[in-house]
Amino acid sequence: MTQIHSDKILILDFGAQYTQLIARRIRELGVYCEIWAWDHEPTEILAYGAKGIILSGGPESTTLEDAPKAPQEVFDAGLPILGICYGMQTLAAQLGGATEAADAREFGHAKVDIVASDRLFAGLSDHPGSAQALDVWMSHGDHVSVAPPGFIVTGRTDRVPVATMANEDKRWYGVQFHPEVTHTKQGGALLKRFVTEICGCRTLWTAANIIEDQIERVRAQVGNDQVLLGLSGGVDSSVVAALLHRAIGDKLTCVFVDTGLLRWKEGDQVMATMAEHMGVKVIRVNAADRYFSALAGHSDPEAKRKIIGRLFVEIFDEESSKLTTASGGQVKWLAQGTIYPDVIESAGSKTGKAHVIKSHHNVGGLPEHMKLKLVEPLRELFKDEVRRIGVELGLPREMVYRHPFPGPGLGVRILGEVKPEYAELLARADAIFMEELRLWDLYDKTSQAFAVFLPVKSVGVVGDARAYEWVIALRAVETIDFMTAHWVHLPYDFLGKVSNRIINELRGVSRVVYDISGKPPATIEWE
């Protein structure tokens, strides 16, 4: 086995918005890390074998009686600790220092004057010279007012008397600011010092090593068994296919269901990339007619989602039975593109103190009787890591960096009843929008963009004749986590070009509108 997990960091999450970002930054440095909830089983902390522990920020106040605390095991482990924001405050509160609630929250840029040097700050300064200082990003209410015994104050700001503190003997550090956000200029360098210099982690977490490690693990897990994968054309399932193909070759069979609700010509592209270019065994099921007949007469969004989900399961089940008959042996494994953010435990979930409630969009489970065991080779990876290994495995960059596409596809972008002629118009309008986004170099600057079909007729003049035709809405959003989103301020010239092309090139559309709603209150999709 590769040693990829031998040097790792454990992040205990106190419910901060930025915890996943801390983990991503550390992994970008080449070091594996996991996020556990602060109330995770404490004995496992010692058994885990991390080389250092990071305590994240969080929304609570250590000045309150029942504030979340780091378990004693964190201090007993004898490991370096870095407390960030709330993590620093709980270090102070638990180790005999003091914290206090401020009158107002501090949010934004700040300058930390370094008043004593420590190993964390060695060589780091945005203002070299007589007064060493760091430009940082703050987001907090409470702060540490007295550093605990054994700690020295290493930095302060105008507003915060203990902005950073250190206990060099124990290698325990606290920073009030957020090193994980890019607004903190030396944030990356600081995390690097902690992880590599102070914790002594080697940088083994690279795309090539992740692939090698997963190949070994998958081979050990599935042996000579057949594995089935539902290929959607999306990033995650495509990367799983490429990875498993590299690991077990033709023992992997992918089922690709063409629902008729995909992007323009997507079915052919998936086959060209996965089957022809990568050599993956893919069964393409052309099921558009089945989907359109099942959806006829239904206009309720939830009903449509259920029909689409159920049909997928039915078709997948049929194909897997055929496969079993053909290969003479039972297919035992189902591969899934579950990724790390799907499985991270929420801070405080065990003690019922969770702050964040995630909404999931699951496509629905497979039938019980299939009795397949799961192989999930992306379970440890963040989306950006999935993309990096996708490229390393030879998938086209364009596919790997594509915007997300919902499971029910155009089914939730055609408002109301879904009809084949609407799906074709919408797919073509969407293709024009995407093509122009790429031409104008705007595609990678938006998180998700798409067209929506509105089943309302609007008057227009096409040629010399008065026309009474459909409306297409364009949507483009910027977001980090898809939980909240801003609409993108696309240039007017660009919008004009897309609108002209859609109206001129597509028969049946007389009007194009641009959606300027944020989330919340609007969702990203229209249904």
Q: Which residues are catalytic?
A: 85, 178, 180
**523 touching ligand XMP, by CB under 6 A:** yes
Which position among 45, 353, 408, 512 is part of the footprint of ligand XMP (CB under 6 A)? 408
Alpha helices in 112-264 (DSSP H): 187-192, 207-222, 235-248
Residue closer to ligand XMP by CB (options 251, 413) is 413
Q: Which residues are bridge partners to 25 per DSSP? A: none
- Stretch touching ligand XMP by CB under 6 A, among 14-22, 62-70, 255-263, 403-411: 403-411
Instruction: Give me the helix-helix angle, 383-392 and 235-248, nearest 10°.
Output: 50
Give the three-class secondary structure for 146: strand
Is 234 part of any known ligand binding site? yes
Stretch that binds ligand XMP, among 36-44, 93-101, 400-408, 505-513 (CB under 6 A): 400-408
Q: Residues in the chain, how many?
A: 527
CB nearer to ligand XMP: pick between 360 and 369: 360
Tell whether residue 337 is a contact of ligand XMP (CB under 6 A): no
Q: Is residue 51 involved in binding ligand XMP (CB under 6 A)? A: no
Q: Which residues pair with 152 in a beta bridge?
A: 166
The correct pick among 57, 97, 260, 407 for binding ligand XMP (CB under 6 A) is 407
Task: Please list the residues that pair with 334 across neighbouring strands.
Answer: 228, 374
* Three-state DSSP state, 22: helix
Q: Cβ(80)–Cβ(107) under 8 Å?
A: no
Q: Hey, what are 390's tokens?
A: 């996708």
Query: Tokens 């052309």 sit at which residue?
Result: 286
Q: How far is the CB of 414 from ligand XMP (least distance, A)?
A: 14
Q: Distance of CA 50 to CAs 11, 34, 377, Å?
A: 10, 9, 22
User: Minimum Å distance from CB 411 to ligand XMP?
Assistant: 9
Q: Return the residue of 106, 126, 417, 525 that touches ligand XMP, per CB under 6 A.
A: 525
Instruction: Give residue 200's Cα distance to chain centre.
Output: 28
Q: Is the peptide bond before 521 cis (omega within 30 degrees of 0)?
A: yes
Binding mask 463-502 for ligand XMP (x = CB under 6 A): -------------------x--------------------
Instruction: Report in angstroms how near the CB of residue 361 gets to ligand XMP at its nearest.
Output: 4
By the 8 A CB rule, do 116 and 168 touch?
A: no
Q: Which of residues 157-186 bind ligand XMP (CB under 6 A)?
A: none
Q: Which stretch binds ligand XMP (CB under 6 A): 206-214, 323-331, 373-381, 406-414?
A: 406-414
- Cβ–Cβ < 8 Å for 39, 350: yes
Residue 279 binds to ligand XMP (criterion: CB under 6 A) = no
- Of 424-453, binders to ligand XMP (CB under 6 A) are 448
237 is in an annotated binding site: yes
User: How many residues sit close enough to ligand XMP to count as binding (CB under 6 A)?
Assistant: 12
Q: Which is nearer to ligand XMP, 186 or 237 (CB)?
A: 237
Closest CA to 99 of 67, 134, 54: 67
Q: How far is the CB of 345 from ligand XMP (least distance, A)?
A: 21
Strand partners, 468: 459
What is the smallest separation between the CB atom of 415 and ligand XMP, expressed in angstroms?
13
The alpha-helical segments, DSSP class H, found in 223-358 are 235-248, 266-270, 288-295, 301-327, 340-343
Q: Which stretch binds ligand XMP (CB under 6 A): 137-145, 161-169, 178-186, 399-407?
A: 399-407
Please indicate if the annotation marks 233 as binding a ligand.
yes
Q: Is 519 in the site for ligand XMP (CB under 6 A)?
A: yes
Measured in whole angstroms, how far is the alpha carbon of residue 447 from the centre of its chain?
A: 12
| Closer residue to ligand XMP (CB): 173 or 433 | 433
Which residues have C-beta within 8 Å of that of residue 357, sequence separation ≥ 6?
none
Rounded Cα gap, residues 195 and 201, in angstroms? 6
Which residue ranges make up the site for ligand XMP (CB under 6 A)? 305, 361, 404, 406-408, 448, 482, 519, 523-525
